[in-house]
Amino acid sequence: MTAGETIKIIARKEIKYLLREKTFFLLLAVFIIMAALSTFIGWSAQHTIRNVYDAATAELAANHQAIPAFPLAHVSSLAIIKNMIIYVVLIGSLVSIILGYFIGINDRISGTIKLIFSRQVSKTELLGGKIFAITYVLSIITLSALAISLISAGIFHVLSFANGLKILGFYALSFLYMLGFALLSLALAMKMKSSAGAILYSLFIWIIITFALPELSSALYPTSLLNPVLPPTDILNSPVLSYIHNFVWPFSISEHFKELSAAVLGVADLPGGQPSLYAYGFNISIIFFWNIFSFLAAFLFFRKIKPAQSDLYE
Amino acid sequence: MNKTLIIAKKEFKDIKRSRIFAYVLLMLFALTIISLFVSELIFRDQVTQYNNSLAILKSMGKLPAAASPQLFPLNLLRGVVGYIEIIGAILGIFLGYISVFKERNTRAIKLLLTRPVKRSSIIYGKILGNFAFVFFAIASVALLILLTLPFIGGAGLTGIDFVKLGIFTVLSSLYILIFFTLSFILSIKQKSIVNALIISFAIWLVFVLIMPQIGDTMDPDNQVPGGFFMSMALSRPQEKKVMAHFNHYETIRGGVEQLSVTKHYERSIFALFGIKKDYNGQALNAILRDQWGNIAVVVLFLLIGVWADIIFFRRSQNLLNS
């Protein structure tokens, strides 16, 4: 049997196992439902703010006050989809963690690691099969969310060829972002001595990437992530914050993803003007490095597997 | 000694010995320090910007319209509250999971039930032991705040600030314990205990992150950096008058937020610490009077959780069959 065939068999087995995990589908359902709801929520908020503006101008006119221009006049039509950026950061990455966890841990919990390595299967082939399974499942999840966003964009009359391409670009980026989490979770699921530890350490990394690093690099409070518009923090005015920003910013993967996604969808708030191509190049490089780092972690942890000691007896 | 207390003591000791919980605590401590430090830098930056603007205005012979930024030390805890909301809830989920997992894994529960110990004593002991640990963890965070705030924030705390930190410790412990009861009940009910952990996370995701996010997204004032009403130069009474036309929409938005226990916890603590500016300088009695509804919801969620834990633990066969 060739290595390619072995990898395919392992991937098929992993996917079959995953299909039995109802809890994975529970989290996946949350992601898919939010993908479907996000456009409606975005549309509802935009529609209401227009009406609030009309009511506000009537109030200002009645009091003979100056009437400012509609503050969202310049906003792109795809702004109704921008909630998906937050949902990928919050839910998509967690779904990926659980995906990597299940695919990494199932052999260990069922006690079949020894059995697998008693056959002519190398560590690289096992890893290859698991990564193939993760990539395949994640592609289907991403494509489903893409289809939902395209349909909902069509329903709210914002779907053009250009906008379709922008949504496609955003989901390509989302796939890369989520893949990093799935690979890292796979690595930890193979490494940790308990199943709870594997999930907990993956969550630690998720918390650091999603909440702690943005606070350090851009002075954003943890719950600021939940807001559709980030608070104005002109951090470069403060020398100390600016210094910390320069140091932490390259590692703040979620911010790179959010910045690049907003640019791809054309919904970025750009008070400081349009970022350079270099800035976008840096964003995408970081997301690629994130994947390379996660892949290397999975590769190194797999190399260290001791078949006789890897099974978990929980 | 009372059997409930013996079980509570054992539960507390078990948790203290666990490396996982040591890491969670360390993470909370580290994030608390980081958050205080960043908040202080933001405040200092605001003061610098104000002074620069003041100098420019003075050189033009004008007077500033806005008052100088005033430091309320507890305002610097906004990030810490955010971390308690997120990591605290995760801590609660893991405590509930581990509490059942160790009994099922070591089969100690079967041995325990051969002794003259009632199931009610076991569940009360477990809840008490976990509450003691959570209280210890949050009290440590509060102590860390007390020790570092004068150095980082450069401002002394008053007696009332100590009382507020005490209320924060109790309310945060109750909030975290809600997630303990959720995870505990699922760990009892589910045949595969890891599934219980993942279902708890799905519920946590919906109630702690998604519902508040939907509420924030639907808030018209959140659509513009700095606030929509500020950008329209509307006064507070004018804002209320305008929003009176959108009662139906606001009811739905408020309803989504009301479903999240996290939002109730956040509102009460934000009011207590004056992070919501309207409460700065208000007497503690007035704040508590205004926030009793939010505090009551947190307590109610916990009581429902404890009640459900007791009922299901008494009836559960999964523990014995594991």
Quote the pLDDT of residue B130: 94
Q: Is the pLDDT of residue A41 over 80?
A: yes
Instruction: Tell me the residue type at B57.
Output: L
Share of chain B above pLDDT 90, in %: 31
Q: Among B65-74, B101-110, B180-189, name the most confident range.
A: B180-189
Nearest 5°: the CA angle A46, A52, A58 is 145
Quote the pLDDT of residue A146: 96
Quote the pLDDT of residue B47: 74
Are the beta carbons of A27 and B201 separated by less than 8 Å?
yes
Quote the pLDDT of residue B237: 86
Give the span between the Cα atoms of A199 and A204, in whole angstroms.
9
Chain B residues within an 8 Å CB radius of A45: 217-218, 220, 223
Quote the pLDDT of residue B42: 78
Q: Which of A252, A215, A217, A211 is nearest to B35 (CA)?
A: A215
- Tokens 């704040």 label which residue? B287
Q: Is the pLDDT of residue B99 over 80?
A: yes
pLDDT tier at A229, thresholds 50, 70, 90: low
Q: A287: which residues sit within 8 A by CB, 6+ positions away?
A: A173, A176, A177, A180, A253, A256, A257, A260
Do the Cβ atoms of B92 and B178 come closer than 8 Å?
Answer: yes
Tokens standing for residue B249? 């929409």
Selecting from A23, A26, A222 the residue whose C-beta is nearest the C-beta of B83 gives A222
Give the span between the Cα atoms of B47 and B322, in whole angstroms.
61
CA distance B213 to chain A (A): 5
Give the span between the Cα atoms of B184 and B17, in whole angstroms.
20
Residue B95 DSSP class:
H
Instruction: Tell me the residue type at A266.
Output: G
Dihedrals phi, psi of B68, to nearest 5 degrees: -65, 140
Chain B: residue nearest A72 by CA? B224
Give the span between the Cα atoms of B15 and B19, in whole angstroms.
8
Q: Is the pLDDT of residue B213 over 90?
A: no
Are the beta carbons of B198 and A65 separated by less than 8 Å?
no
Chain A and chain B share a number of CB contacts under 8 A equal to 181
Q: Is the pLDDT of residue B181 over 80?
A: yes
Quote the pLDDT of residue B2: 84
Name the least confident of A97-111, A269-283, B147-161.
Answer: A269-283
Quote the pLDDT of residue A307: 72
Quote the pLDDT of residue A230: 61
Are the beta carbons of B197 and A196 separated by less than 8 Å?
yes
Q: Is the pLDDT of residue B245 over 70?
A: yes
Are the beta carbons of A207 and B266 separated by less than 8 Å?
no
Q: What is the ipTM of this complex?
A: 0.83
Do the Cβ atoms of B34 and A212 come closer than 8 Å?
Answer: yes
Looking at residues A165-172, what average pLDDT do you find? 95
Polymer length of chain A: 314
Q: Is the pLDDT of residue A246 over 70?
A: yes
Selecting from B44, B226, B245 the residue whose C-beta is nearest the C-beta of A232 gives B226
CA distance A105 to chain B (A): 11
Packing angle between helix A22-62 and helix B236-243, nearest 10 degrees?
Answer: 110
Give the span between the Cα atoms of B149 and B76, in whole angstroms.
9
Give the span between the Cα atoms of A277 and A283, in whole angstroms.
10
Do the Cβ atoms of A183 and A291 come closer than 8 Å?
Answer: yes
Give the span between the Cα atoms of B177 and A161, in whole angstroms.
50
Q: Is the pLDDT of residue B197 over 90?
A: no
Give the span between the Cα atoms of B321 and A109, in whole angstroms.
19
Selecting from B202, B223, B229 the residue whose C-beta is nearest the C-beta of A26 gives B202
- Domain locations in chain A as residue ranges: 3-37+80-303
Three-state SS string across chain A, please?
Answer: CCHHHHHHHHHHHHHHHHHCCHHHHHHHHHHHHHHHHHHHHHHHHHHHHHHHHHHHHHHHHHCCCCCCCCCCCCCCHHHHHCHHHHHHHHHHHHHHHHHHHHHHHHHHHCCCHHHHHHCCCCHHHHHHHHHHHHHHHHHHHHHHHHHHHHHHHHHCCCCCHHHHHHHHHHHHHHHHHHHHHHHHHHHHHHHCCCHHHHHHHHHHHHHHHHHHHHHHHHCCCHHHHHCCCCCCCCHHHCHHHHHHHHHHHHHCHHHHHHHHHHHHHCCCCCCCCCCCHHHHHHHHHHHHHHHHHHHHHHHHHHHCCCHHHCCCCC
Q: Is the pLDDT of residue B207 over 60?
A: yes
Q: Is the pLDDT of residue A273 over 60?
A: no
Looking at residues A88-111, what average pLDDT do you find? 92
Give the span between the Cα atoms of A176 and A193, in whole angstroms.
28
Q: What is the DSSP string of B189-247?
A: H-SSHHHHHHHHHHHHIIIIIIHHHHHHHH-GGGGSTT-HHHHTT--HHHHHHHHGGGH
Do the Cβ atoms of A222 and B79 come closer than 8 Å?
Answer: yes
Q: Is the pLDDT of residue A103 over 80?
A: yes
Quote the pLDDT of residue B155: 66
Chain A residues within an 8 Å CB radius of B22: none
**HSE-up of A242 (CA within 13 Å, CB side)?**
6
Give the span between the Cα atoms of B251 and A174, in whole angstroms.
33
Say if residue B87 is exposed, middle or buried (CB neighbours under 10 Å; 0-12, 13-18, 19+): buried
- Tokens 């400012």 label which residue? A68
Of residues B216 and B304, which shows the higher confidence score? B304
Quote the pLDDT of residue B177: 96
pLDDT tier at A116, thresholds 50, 70, 90: confident
Quote the pLDDT of residue B126: 92
Packing angle between helix A195-207 and helix B19-59, nearest 10 degrees?
Answer: 10
Q: Which of B173, B12, B199 is nearest to A25 (CA)?
A: B199
Of residues A81 and B227, which shows the higher confidence score? A81
Q: Is the pLDDT of residue A164 over 90?
A: yes
CA distance B41 to chain A (A): 7
CA distance B127 to chain A (A): 21
Quote the pLDDT of residue B322: 53
Give per-residue pLDDT as tens, B249-271. 889 888 888 889 999 999 999 99
Say if residue A231 is exposed, middle or buried (CB neighbours under 10 Å; 0-12, 13-18, 19+): middle
Quote the pLDDT of residue B182: 95
Quote the pLDDT of residue B286: 92
Q: What is the mean pLDDT of chain A?
A: 87
- Taking phi over 0 as left and psi of -120 to 50 as alpha, with beta for the rest, B274 belongs to left
Give the span between the Cα atoms of B32 and B144, in whole angstroms.
8
Q: Is the pLDDT of residue A108 over 60?
A: yes
Q: CA-based diameter of chain B, in Å? A: 86
pLDDT tier at B319, thresholds 50, 70, 90: low
Quote the pLDDT of residue A275: 63
Give per-residue pLDDT as tens, B17-45. 888 788 888 888 888 888 888 887 777 77
pLDDT tier at A76, thresholds 50, 70, 90: confident
Q: Is the pTM of this model over 0.95?
A: no
Q: What is the mean pLDDT of chain B?
A: 86
Say if residue A131 is exposed, middle or buried (CB neighbours under 10 Å; 0-12, 13-18, 19+): buried
Selecting from A44, A68, A221 the residue whose C-beta is nearest the C-beta of B218 gives A44
Do the Cβ atoms of A42 and A87 come closer than 8 Å?
Answer: no
Looking at residues A232-249, what average pLDDT do you find? 74
Looking at residues B178-197, what average pLDDT do you find? 88
Name the least confident of A76-90, A300-314, B115-129, B298-312.
Answer: A300-314
CA distance A5 to chain B (A): 32
pLDDT tier at A237, thresholds 50, 70, 90: low
Give the span between the Cα atoms of A158 and B98, in whole angstroms.
48
Three-state secondary-structure class, residue B260? coil
